[in-house]
Amino acid sequence: METYSAVWPNARVLLVVRDPRDQISSLLAMNEARQARGQLPFYPDVESAAAGWANTYRVGMDALKRTATDHMVVRYEDFVSDPTGTALRIGGWLELPVTEGLDFQDSAFVMSHKARFSHHQQLDQPITTSSVGRWQSRLTEDEASAIARIAGELMHRMGYS
């Protein structure tokens, strides 16, 4: 962050945070696909994924504060439940105009990612809340408890019960 701040002193950073239980649940599903391709998993287990989630947030926030970088934290759940309102809020913070109808379906970025990554197959679909709370049917009680034990303080601070 020090390097970025030196090169771009007026930079603004948007930090998107997702409920760690949903994020880890998605990571576990991606791990299966990665292993089927002969790749290593992102994290070997739920505990290390929870520690990684918490560490990423802590390190990121510490760096932003240490360098006094202008930043905004947006919860993934807020974005998918109110995409236009959240985009307008971000646009206002960035002092950029935002138009209605967040339409990414035909972008080259979407098409290339759909071709490369199986977990990006829904990128050209309308924004939905269908993945919010999905952890409740994907994680075991022990896995959810491990995440809460490791990342619970940050989860609570960010509004995740």
In this predicted model, what pLDDT tens digit does every residue of 20-32 receive, in sequence order? 999 999 998 888 8
Inform me whether the pLDDT recorded for 144 exceeds 90: yes
Predicted local distance difference test score (pLDDT) of residue 2: 87
Instruction: Please state, in angstroms and as integers, the Cα–Cα distance from residue 36 to each residue in 30, 31, 41, 117, following that order.
Output: 10, 8, 10, 13
Cα–Cα distance measured from residue 84 to residue 98, given in angstroms and rounded to the nearest whole number: 9
User: Measured between alpha carbons, how far is 42 from 30 in angstroms, rounded to an integer?
Assistant: 8
Report the share of the chain in percent with pLDDT over 70: 83
Dump pLDDT digits (tens) for 42-95.
Answer: 888 999 999 999 999 999 899 999 999 999 999 999 999 998 899 899 999 999
pLDDT of residue 47: 96
Identify the pLDDT of residue 110: 60
pLDDT at residue number 74: 94
Residue 19 pLDDT class (50, 70, 90 cuts) = very high
User: Is the pLDDT score of 125 beyond 80?
Assistant: no
* The pLDDT of residue 152: 94
Per-residue pLDDT, 67: 92
User: For 9, how many CA atoms within 13 A lie in the half-sphere containing its CB?
Assistant: 1
Cα–Cα distance measured from residue 1 to residue 87, given in angstroms and rounded to the nearest whole number: 25
Q: What is the predicted pLDDT for the residue at 111?
A: 65
Nearest to 28 by CA among 99, 134, 159, 161: 134
Whose CA is closest to 15, among 47, 62, 49? 62
pLDDT at 130: 86
Give pTM, 2 decimals: 0.79
Q: What's the confidence (pLDDT) of residue 122?
A: 65
